[in-house]
Amino acid sequence: MTIKEYLKKKLVKVKKEKVLIPCLEGQYLQGRKALITGGSSGIGFSIAQSFLKNGASVVICSRNKEKLENAKRDLIEKTLCDEDRIEILELDITCIPKMKDTLGQFLLDKRIDIFVNNAGINKGKMFPDTSEEEYDCVLDTNTKGMYFISQEIIKYMISNHISGNILNIVSSSAIRPGTSPYIISKWGERSLTLGMAKKYLPYGIIVNGLAPGSTLTPMLCKNSDNLDLEYSPSGRYAAPEEIGNLATILVSEMGRMIVGDVIYATGGAGIITIDDTAC
């Protein structure tokens, strides 16, 4: 590359066209009810929105009741759905005994046939500078919390003879070298997805994973709606709405022959290239 070409690449901004993200909308989930962890923002919120636009009722879960109440108002505004189609549940999946009790009481008079394991965090330094506190914090939510709430949901579905779907929101990090607690946690989530899918298909419970790449959520980008992402082969972040659309397809009748698979939505980052391993 000549100096002229280099300067042109660095200094000239190419105006990109706005990316239009259509929202899948229909009756693909009519009559069904979903429980979504981490449902007050980001990917979880967009999944709830897509489910509502496709006929389902939703229960959104989070540790923060105020955020849940705000999210419910936003979902009603965005989807124009009836208020009674959205419930909130204050739930901390890292406190296993309390989670079991709260969830058990809530499910006593409910019929949930879709469960979305979405709650997750990413924090701490990369290996070899990770502290024990950082490691425990990430693994307690992403792997341990997911493991034990999945046990409760599986027991509930089997005991109530419910055929349904479990969708684990994994990450493209699940195929990257394990240099952080987050990446290690996502490997564990992918492994559990395969194990649950094999064991519980005979009960009519379909388990899959959905693995987004870098997605424009508050976890990665606060107060920004710019999708541009230089390191991605696609040149941009995924929009949360795109992940919501895919989640709807995977838990609908259209996705019944997808079993034990992890569907990657990375824009090429992680599949074509893993140059973003530090993310």
The set of catalytic residues is 182
Contact present, 67 and 94 (Cβ < 8 Å):
no
Q: Rounded distance, CA 156 to CA 104, Å?
A: 8
Which stretches of the chain are DSSP H helices?
3-11, 42-53, 65-79, 96-107, 132-139, 146-159, 181-200, 240-251
Angle (CA) 237-239-244 rounded to 5° is 140
Q: Rounded distance, CA 241 to CA 79, Å?
A: 13
